Structure 1
Amino acid sequence: MIPLFNPENKFWSFIGKLADLVCLSLLWVCTSLPVFTIGATITAFYNFTIHQVNDTESTVWHGFFTAFRKCFKKATCLWGIQLIGTAFLVCDFWLAWQYYLSHNEGFGALLILSVICCVSFIFFSCFFYTYPLLAIFDFPLKKLLSHSFIMAMGNLPVTITLWVCWGLCSVGIYYLSGVFFVWIGLAIFISSYFLFGVFKKYTGELTEEQTLHARRKKRCKEQEVI
């Protein structure tokens, strides 16, 4: 068979991934309409794209909804935390900006603004990792948040790259808003390559923690039976 027409060819494999990505993006839009489901849909999206990176993905429909159902509760809690945190930071920034203007752009007001910007950077950087972590590892919420902080701050070059990736996504949405879901899908897909590389660094440690967590749960169940 001519290599170009071989279905196992890397080119056609990549085209297949892009086709799956478009279908997944449309599915993401439909399932995000209730708004409160956005956390679960983002997690399910990352679950599929990270498996794509590792060439272990299943069909779009099955892979997406399996992850959606599995992670719904935790992802919805994370989405709530993100919304509350975002609202809090926006209010803080607005108040600090008014204080900055009312104090003739003084140093103290500028310092407050700088602190809020730094906290915002850390907060949103963590959420670049939180949903993907939930998509792959079944951790409690506290551990998801702590690991996402460690990964975000411990891999700053990757974190900054993710900021750039999502910044370009925002530019694409601004100029071609009619296909905003495709831009978001591409941002998640590209981010997954970087996140997969970060996760590989921690896989041994995370796997060990998962095993210990599973053993604790098993002991608790055994004690309940007794």
Structure 2
Amino acid sequence: MEGFFNQNNWFYKLMGLLFDLVILNVITLVVSIPLFTAGSALTALHYCLWRMVRNEEGSILKMYFTVFRENFKQVTPVWLVVLVCALIGAADVYFIAHIQQLAPGLGNSGRMVLIVAFSIMAVVITALVQWYTVLVSRYKNSNAIHLKNAALASLGFFPRTLTMLILVLGTAIGCVIFYGYAVPFVLILGISLPQYCCALVYEPVFKKLDGEESSAGSKK
């Protein structure tokens, strides 16, 4: 029994991790309500998550909002472009769903082309945003360099990129399919939990970069 009540055992560590993830999830959702702030919110989330993965202690709220403020001006222009792409994607989804009424001449082959094009766009944008926000949360560089490095990382670490895409897009698709049951999960852990798993995936990459490539940038 003494071991169970020891705050250093696995149970207390797991409960502490889940508690922190719930806090981060709620904060990220609230901060992202205006939509144009979601990019900075995601960047701040990644900063807190990789600190958690490295077991570096600190106030989550203080870290989150400090990084959010520091990166808001840099991330927002890029995020606005992402929102425009999302609107285009939403229009594509609507068109695909009503293709027989809007363009009956296209047929099933035209519908399949649109589905493939939309899927490729969604995968590419998700991969770039994932790596971009991670890079901004860790290094000081221009957006041009961050986007270039995000593209290189997406391809250079493709197995890790694929794993993160499965985690992020898989969670999103699952929540859409089971939306009636997924709402509580989304509110509690729907963003922070899959992104924490992503942090476990990409953290070895940055451990190697931080140790071997001092020119990559100064860590915040």
Instruction: Give the TM interval when normalised to the shorter protein.
Output: 0.7 to 0.9
Counterpart secondary structure, 2:191 = helix
Which structure has more relative contact order (CA 8 Å, sep 6+)? It is: 2
Counterpart secondary structure, 1:143 = helix
Amino acid in structure 2 at the alignment position of 1:202: L
Alignment length (residue pairs): 210
TM-score by length of 2: 0.79
Q: Is 1:69 paired with 2:72?
A: no
Q: Equivalents in 2 of 1:89, 1:176: separation in Å?
A: 23
> Which ranges in structure 1 are unaligned for 5 or more consecutive residues?
212-226
Over 3 Å counting, the alpha-carbon distance change for 1:152 and 1:64 in structure 2 is same
Are the counterparts in 2 of residues 100 and 109 from structure 1 also a CA contact under 8 Å? Answer: no
Which of these residues, 86, 102, 105, is aligned with residue 102 of structure 1?
Answer: 105
Over 3 Å counting, the alpha-carbon distance change for 1:102 and 1:54 in structure 2 is same
Residue in structure 1 matched with residue 216 of structure 2 by the alignment: 209
Are the counterparts in 1 of residues 131 and 153 from structure 2 also a CA contact under 8 Å? Answer: yes
Q: Equivalents in 1 of 2:122, 2:26: separation in Å?
A: 30
Over 3 Å counting, the alpha-carbon distance change for 1:82 and 1:6 in structure 2 is same
Q: Which moved more, 1:113-122 or 1:191-200?
A: 113-122
Q: Equivalents in 1 of 2:132, 2:159: separation in Å?
A: 17
Are the counterparts in 2 of residues 57 and 63 from structure 1 also a CA contact under 8 Å? Answer: no
Residue in structure 2 matched with residue 140 of structure 1 by the alignment: 142
Over 3 Å counting, the alpha-carbon distance change for 1:20 and 1:111 in structure 2 is closer
How many Å apart are 1:93 and its aligned residue? 7.0
Are the counterparts in 2 of residues 45 and 64 from structure 1 also a CA contact under 8 Å? Answer: yes
How many Å apart are 1:95 and its aligned residue? 6.7
Residue in structure 1 matched with residue 182 of structure 2 by the alignment: 176
1:33-44 aligned within 5 A = 33-44=33-44
Over 3 Å counting, the alpha-carbon distance change for 1:21 and 1:113 in structure 2 is closer
Q: Equivalents in 2 of 1:194, 1:70: separation in Å?
A: 25
Q: Equivalents in 2 of 1:101, 1:154: separation in Å?
A: 42
Are the counterparts in 2 of residues 32 and 38 from structure 1 also a CA contact under 8 Å? Answer: yes
Q: Equivalents in 2 of 1:116, 1:24: separation in Å?
A: 30
How many Å apart are 1:10 and its aligned residue? 3.8
TM-score by length of 1: 0.78
Are the counterparts in 2 of residues 152 and 159 from structure 1 also a CA contact under 8 Å? Answer: yes
Q: Percent identity?
A: 22
Q: Which moved more, 1:109-118 or 1:182-191?
A: 109-118
Residue in structure 2 matched with residue 17 of structure 1 by the alignment: 17
| Rg comparison, structure with higher value | 1
Residue in structure 2 matched with residue 195 of structure 1 by the alignment: 202
Counterpart secondary structure, 1:3 = coil
Over 3 Å counting, the alpha-carbon distance change for 1:109 and 1:164 in structure 2 is closer
